[in-house]
Amino acid sequence: MLISRRALMIAAGASVVAGPVLAADAAGPTPVERHGKLSVRGNQVIDAHGQPVTLRGMSLFWSQWGPRFYNADAIGWLARDWKASLLRVAVAVPSGGYLQHPARETAKAERAIDAAIANGLYVIVDWHAHDPEPEAAATFFTHIATKYGHLPNIIYEPWNEPLEHHTWPVDVKPYHMALIPRIRAIDPDNLIVAGTPRWSSDVDVAAADPLPFDNVAYVMHFYATSHGQAYRDKVTRAMERGAAVFVTEYGTTEATGDGVIDAEETQAWWDFMEANHISYANWSLNDKRESAAALVRGAPAIGGWTDAHITRSGKMVRDQLRRMAT
């Protein structure tokens, strides 16, 4: 069933003002109008029509450090000009994030989620943490599922990046086993993407001992200069074991998010993900002085970015998004 952008905004509680049709509306169906509710079948994420779907877009930066772009204008520009179909909202947990300021960080997340819904984007709600915080996460995702779980836009990412010492059987799988039922009690069927050990790279390990839930994909992260064919081999093994994989974060750079950009390896990853119907979100829509930032320092917070506002990495990613949207 196709769901209009206006209906989604009303369902989410956003105000809708009568007036002329926006440019985004005139451009045709939005990603959510085109694909509807997502689910997992075998090792693929599929749309409401039963077809494998590849979503492409951007991740926002840690919400406590990069809130400038958590606004409707920037996200609308990302949808219209960059042709993104996916937004990742990186809800910071430690270091002055949700644990210290839950109301403030939740409000930032909701602004971004509302903007994604208004533009017909899929939106990953990312619990951006390296250490498990199960009770705080349960409180947050209970709220998000209650407010937005009836909409097909929502994708839950309950643990962004478990670290190297967090093993799948001892730490990561038990965390998901405890938290996913809390989400499912409210939202029984929207997609969940489950973080994996070693900064979300051990998708093959998780696939060998999968979670016993429907509509779950496993999270892969990579940074192209540091992570090449060996990481793609891990994805291939995971898919051969029957797991669906979702790249919720990738960079064109070294694993630090800085340093050398490897355009050739980035293209190899794009080709691989496209061939395997794997969705991907680039890190990050931010203006920090680092190689992975898509925007130069001081770029306008409200979109309208010209080439002068976009970094080398940002131009590569924008070109890819626009190329694959045609």
| Structural domain boundaries in the chain | 5-325
Whether residue 197 is predicted with pLDDT greater than 80 in this model: the reply is yes
Res 7 pLDDT > 90:
no
Of 105, 133, 249, 254, the catalytic one is: 249
Respond yes or no: is residue 161 known to be catalytic. Answer: yes
Q: At residue 111, does pLDDT exceed 80?
A: yes
Longest dimension (CA), the chain: 55
Of 111, 39, 34, 40, nearest in space to 70 by CA: 111
* Single-letter residue type at 59: S
pLDDT of residue 305: 98
Res. 297: pLDDT tops 80: yes
Domain 5-325, what fold? TIM Barrel (3.20.20)
How far is 300 from 269, CA to CA, in rounded Å? 30
Whether residue 249 lies in the annotated active site: yes
Per-residue pLDDT band for 125 (boundaries 50, 70, 90) equals very high
- CB distance 183 to 213 below 8 Å: no
Confidence category of residue 19, pLDDT binned at 50, 70, 90: very low
If you average pLDDT over residues 125-146, what whole number do you get?
Answer: 97
Which of 110, 133, 157, 161 is catalytic? The answer is 161
Contacts of 53 (CB under 8 A, 6+ apart): 35, 38, 45, 46, 47, 277, 279
Residue 244 in this model has a pLDDT that exceeds 90: yes
Residue 60 amino acid letter: L
How much is the mean pLDDT over the chain?
Answer: 93
What is the spatial distance between Cα 168 and Cα 175, in angstroms, rounded to a whole number?
9
Tell me: pLDDT of 146 over 80: yes
Is the pLDDT at 130 greater than 50, yes or no? yes
User: How many residues are present in the chain?
Assistant: 326
How far is C-alpha 176 from the geometric centre of its chain's CA atoms? 18
Above 50 in pLDDT, residue 98?
Answer: yes
